[in-house]
Amino acid sequence: MTAAASARVLLTTIFGDSLLPRGQAVGVQQLAVLVEPLGINERSVRTSLHRLTQEGLVQSEKQGRQSFYRVADEALPIFADANERIYRHEDPPWDGEWTVAMVANEDAGVASLRDEFHWMGMAQLSAAVFVSPTRTPSEVVDVASRHNVALLLLSRGPQDDVATINGENLAGIVAPLPHLRDEYLAHLAAFGSAREASLLGPADAFRLRTLLIDSWRRLALRDLSLPAALLPPDWPARVAFELTMRLRADVATSSEAHLDAVVGPA
């Protein structure tokens, strides 16, 4: 991953995990102070903010001669969907049925729709076909409407009615990526050794929180949050989730003190 791409990903994490709950807009210099210990300079911050603005994830507002940035209004539902998967880990109820949606692939908003479908855990079978065992048709309609993308097909039914695609079973197609288990275990190894995190100073606590949630966020949003019936035995997601949330709670007070010092009180 390039430095600029890394900066963009980390800034997305900071906006979603640290700034959005505080309802704050933040200046370039303030962001640069927050990410400097992570090896990111102000130039990369500016480049990443430009990209995030183009993608519609953040928006700028003038305060005097300076620009301040916050999560874009139109991106709030996207962050809300993502946060449901990042900060909660429940075995979703499943009735054995699947939702299948086919979108009009030529519509202007389909690229941003794909991103939101991904963030909400819809598996992409082709350029225009998405499936989920737990997302409802009404949720799919709401998202497609928000992006002004037409749905050419939308149905929900038992696996036997919708499962045969190129001779494969849907459950097999959307099974967790084989290497995702190893990445969960690597996350546990990287952060499981953190000791006495609650004793860290404000700057170190914020750094740990950001790296922790950035690592977890990328795992959680790649995992489809499948029902237990569709997961391999001993799937490590829950253990990784519990470690992540425990560490985040340990550094919450101190990391918020760092945000108060750099960005100002919420």
- Strands (E) in the chain, as ranges, are 26-27, 58-63, 66-71, 97-103, 123-124, 129-132, 151-158
Distances (CA, A) of 68 to 23, 58, 171: 12, 10, 45
Closest CA to 34 of 256, 195, 212: 256
Q: Give the pLDDT score at 168.
A: 56
Please tell me the distance from the alpha carbon of residue 87 to that of residue 244, in angstroms, as a whole number: 9
Residue 165 has pLDDT above 70, yes or no: no
**Model pLDDT for residues 9-55, shown as the tens digit of each residue:** 999 999 999 999 999 999 999 999 999 999 999 999 999 999 999 99
Please tell me the distance from the alpha carbon of residue 101 to that of residue 139, in angstroms, as a whole number: 11
- Long-range (24+ apart) CB contacts under 8 A made by 228-233 are 228/91, 229/94, 230/94, 230/133, 230/171, 230/174, 230/175, 231/176, 232/175, 232/176, 232/181
Q: Looking at residues 155-161, what average pLDDT do you find?
A: 78
**Model pLDDT for residues 129-138, shown as the tens digit of each residue:** 999 998 999 9
**Model pLDDT for residues 167-182, shown as the tens digit of each residue:** 457 777 777 777 899 9
Mean pLDDT of the chain: 89
Both tokens of 188, joined, read 């546990």
Percent of the chain residues topping a pLDDT of 90: 61
Q: Give the pLDDT score at 120.
A: 86
Q: Are 238 and 90 in contact (CB under 8 A)?
A: no
Closest CA to 137 of 120, 123, 151, 156: 156
Contacts for 23 with CB less than 8 Å, ≥ 6 apart: 266
- 109-128 residues labelled b (16+ CB within 10 A) or e (exposed): bbebbbebbbbbbbbebeeb
